[in-house]
Amino acid sequence: MLANDNDTGLSIYSSLAYDREIEYSAWGTIVYTIAYTAWQAFNFEEQGLPSIIESVDEETVAEIFEYLDKIPAFDRKYGLYIKNKLLEKFTYEPENEFGIPIDRKQIDY
Averaged over successive runs of 10 residues, the pLDDT of the chain (109 residues) comes to: 64 74 86 85 78 82 87 85 70 52 59
Nearest to 34 by CA among 63, 70, 72, 69: 63
What's the pTM? 0.68
| Rg of the chain (C-alpha set) | 16
Q: What is the number of structural domains in the chain?
A: 2
Confidence at residue 95, expressed as pLDDT on a 0 to 100 scale: 46
Pair 27, 64 in one domain:
yes
Q: Domain check: are 70 and 20 in the same one?
A: yes
Specify whether 59 is located in the same domain as 92: no
SS3 (DSSP) at 78: helix
CA distance 29 to 2: 12
| Residue 109 structural domain | 77-109
> What confidence score (pLDDT) does residue 52 get?
79
DSSP code string of 29-40: HHHHHHHHHHHH
Q: What is the pLDDT of residue 93?
A: 53
